Amino acid sequence: MMRDSMRDLDAYITGQNIHYNDLVSHYCPSCKAEKSVAMFFDMGGWFYKDDDDPWCDKCQCEMIVKEG
């Protein structure tokens, strides 16, 4: 068990778990339009490259991550 946690720590320190510009599917809760939004994973969480990307211009609302 200790070996796996050390490998996870090594991967974290060397940046192996950091992903940049992964396209994540989003949808609009109002009109159901779909859009792929660039996101990155760092420090255990997902962040938007640009905070305005998950926005539906037609409905003027924030899009939601599509599960699955």
What tokens were used for 3? 């070996």
What tokens were used for 46? 């997902």
What tokens were used for 17? 């778990």
Q: What was the pLDDT predicted at 39? A: 85
Task: Quickly state the pLDDT bin for 1 (edges 50, 70, 90).
Answer: very low
- 21-68 tens-digit pLDDT: 678 899 999 999 999 988 887 777 778 888 888 999 999 999 998 886
What tokens were used for 27? 């949808």
Q: Is the pTM of this model over 0.85?
A: no
Q: Which of 47, 56, 52, 58 is nearest to 24 (CA)?
A: 47
Q: HSE on the CB side for 39, CA within 13 Å?
A: 15
